[in-house]
Amino acid sequence: MIEVRTGVAVIGGGPVGLSAANLLGHLGISCALYEKNATTSFHPRGHVVNTRTMEILRMLGVADAVDAVSLPLERHAGIAFVTSLTGDEIGVIETRSNPEWARIERSQSPVFKRSCPQDRLEPVLREHAETCDGVSVRFGHTVTAVHQDGTGVTLDWTDSSGRTGRTRAKYLIAADGPRSSTRDAVGIEMEGRSIGQQIGIYFHADLWALVEDRPYLLWWIYNARTSGVLISLDGRSRWTYNFGYREDESRDDFTAERCLKILRAVIGDEDIPIEIQNIMPWRMQSRIADRFSQGRVFIAGDAAHPLPPTGGQGFNTGVADVHNLIWKLGLVLNKTAPEALLDSYNIERRPVAKFNVEQSARNALAMVERGLSGILANDSLLLANLEGPEGAENRGKLAEGIPEQRAHFDYPGQTFGFHYESSLITPDGTPVPAFSVTAYEPSARPGHRAPHMEIEGQVGRSLIDLFDYRGFTLLTGPDGNAWTAAGQLAAQDLGLPISCYAIGTDVAVNADEWCRLYGVSKDGAVLVRPDGHVAWRSAGAGTPDELRAAAACAIGRSAAEKPAEKGQLEGAG
């Protein structure tokens, strides 16, 4: 039997497990990832990489590679509702095609939300993880058993040639998907429900002549023969089409021949050559784990919260999970923080994931209510009478419900506006700002993502680029010099990396604008966690003790506690 020792083991080589491996590699934590499939996904299931995930990928140095294999930005300009690609238009939700929308998007982040099909995204993540020192990525390895004790986790695995092995790790991240056997093995229960069963067809067809002047990401299709959603993967010839089927039907009823007929009804043209690449049944679920960790095992991604794809939150929520968890694992492994810090993973992430599960289900049901579902229940009488001049009235009825669906497709508030509440965050007494899924109001209130500001004279460079995943960042106002000394003292005392930047001196951003956006005066300061969320802010001048206490809390230590005995990074190497 092969024996392996590592800092953190990861089960699952989907987008979440691969992101975890990259984040662990970034921190120099040794990691072994096990994926039972021989290769990354062939079927492009998910595709929307939201702006927050793109910021995380930028920090890891892979955003450019993801951009290069994404749907071109100019083809990602809105959502269409039609009877078929050659049929009648019912309505459109504009996004990037609207100049004001595009201006607001640019003001919120240095990166853009992208559509990068999962079969293109995963290889980028895998390749990058494989370049990280100390990271071992093992495809074709099935984990067969997981046991934990007081000092670590043991995994038994079998590789594709039948060899068996055992891996001993300090901690385990289970990103093993919606049917997670690890979750079951450690006794974590799920709550929620299944919403319906669907078929996804991945196909190639050159549809350029039909879409050239309509650069839409999604095409919702409604006609007598089919209703569902067509996803543009490259804007031209790679597509998926997803639709629901009745409980009394079987996935086996959807033969290649039947699927081809369905695709003809989607396109509305009998002659365009179509090559079906794959037919994949899937189930729309709205479920969440009762807790995200058990002892040394942490569940993330679909293992913790399989959610409806209506809103494109699936792997995005999972990437945010591991981004929240891994800096904490790093501080615990190098003994800067107590193990209790890891309890905050469940406390901080579960409410955010729960909101995303519920919002995704709301999006699906809002479509049903207005007869627009496509992938769930549909009014078959209405669908039978939608096309041609005689269908105009019915199309008008459907069109009335389209503006109400914006939260499904356009959600900057949901992407950036969520916040964490836990003992790691020192409240400053200010109220939670108004929250809207469709509009983002930047806020540096403790718990929120520290807002983006462009650095002057450096096109494309952002204030958020300063936030180092390896440590904390202290931003001080232009008259807040005293905070810098306090930050250095706290860093020394706690053995915690804290990088200090004086606004206006070290960082060329407009100081008045920074004070307004970050909610402090010129002698104020803001402490930002490795994951870019604000841990503490002082509206004005204060004492070094306040900052030291907040930094101690932010890593799960009490303000009065003496510094821990520092050791080597246990998982390193």
Binding site for ligand FAD (CB under 6 A): 11-17, 34-37, 45-48, 118, 142-143, 175-177, 181, 200, 242, 282, 301-302, 309, 312-316, 318
For the bound state, the minimum distance from the C-beta of residue 280 to ligand FAD, rounded and expressed in Å, comes to: 8
Give the whole-angstrom CA distance, residue 472 versus residue 529: 5
> CB-wise, 394 or 415, nearer to ligand FAD?
415
Residue count of the chain = 573
Q: Which of 369, 451, 450, 360 is nearest to 408 (CA)?
A: 360
| Owner of token pair 């809103």 | 311
> CB-wise, 167 or 336, nearer to ligand FAD?
167
| Sheet with strand 190-204: strands edge to edge | 89-94, 78-82, 218-222, 227-232, 238-245, 190-204, 275-289
CA atoms within 13 A on the CB side of 507: 27
Angle at 513 (CA atoms; ends 508, 514), nearest 5 degrees: 65
For the bound state, the minimum distance from the C-beta of residue 294 to ligand FAD, rounded and expressed in Å, comes to: 17
> CB-wise, 12 or 152, nearer to ligand FAD?
12
> CB-wise, 183 or 419, nearer to ligand FAD?
183
Angle at 171 (CA atoms; ends 167, 175), nearest 5 degrees: 85
Token representation of residue 528: 């930002």
For the bound state, the minimum distance from the C-beta of residue 172 to ligand FAD, rounded and expressed in Å, comes to: 12
> CB-wise, 46 or 532, nearer to ligand FAD?
46
> CB-wise, 142 or 488, nearer to ligand FAD?
142
For the bound state, the minimum distance from the C-beta of residue 368 to ligand FAD, rounded and expressed in Å, comes to: 17
> CB-wise, 146 or 331, nearer to ligand FAD?
146
For the bound state, the minimum distance from the C-beta of residue 181 to ligand FAD, rounded and expressed in Å, comes to: 5
> CB-wise, 309 or 504, nearer to ligand FAD?
309
All residues at 6 or more sequence positions from 246 whose CB lies less than 8 Å from its CB, including other chains: none
Token representation of residue 434: 């108004």
For the bound state, the minimum distance from the C-beta of residue 169 to ligand FAD, rounded and expressed in Å, comes to: 14
Give the whole-angstrom CA distance, residue 163 versus residue 455: 53
For the bound state, the minimum distance from the C-beta of residue 309 to ligand FAD, rounded and expressed in Å, comes to: 3
Q: In this structure, are strands 297-299 and 89-94 parallel, antiparallel, or unpaired?
A: unpaired
For the bound state, the minimum distance from the C-beta of residue 240 to ligand FAD, rounded and expressed in Å, comes to: 7
Backbone angles phi, psi at 281, to 5 degrees: -75, 145
> CB-wise, 276 or 399, nearer to ligand FAD?
276
> CB-wise, 9 or 515, nearer to ligand FAD?
9
Token representation of residue 344: 């905050």
All residues at 6 or more sequence positions from 541 whose CB lies less than 8 Å from its CB, including other chains: 480, 482, 523, 524
> CB-wise, 314 or 446, nearer to ligand FAD?
314
Give the whole-angstrom CA distance, residue 69 versus residue 115: 9
Angle at 496 (CA atoms; ends 532, 510), nearest 5 degrees: 40
Give the whole-angstrom CA distance, residue 451 versus residue 442: 6
Token representation of residue 393: 């009235």
Token representation of residue 466: 């300063």
For the bound state, the minimum distance from the C-beta of residue 312 to ligand FAD, rounded and expressed in Å, comes to: 3
Beta strands in 175-290 (DSSP E): 190-204, 218-222, 227-232, 238-245, 275-289
**361-376: b or e for each residue (b if 16 or more CB lie within 10 Å)?**
bbbbbbbbebbbbbbb
For the bound state, the minimum distance from the C-beta of residue 55 to ligand FAD, rounded and expressed in Å, comes to: 15
For the bound state, the minimum distance from the C-beta of residue 442 to ligand FAD, rounded and expressed in Å, comes to: 23
Give the whole-angstrom CA distance, residue 101 versus residue 99: 5
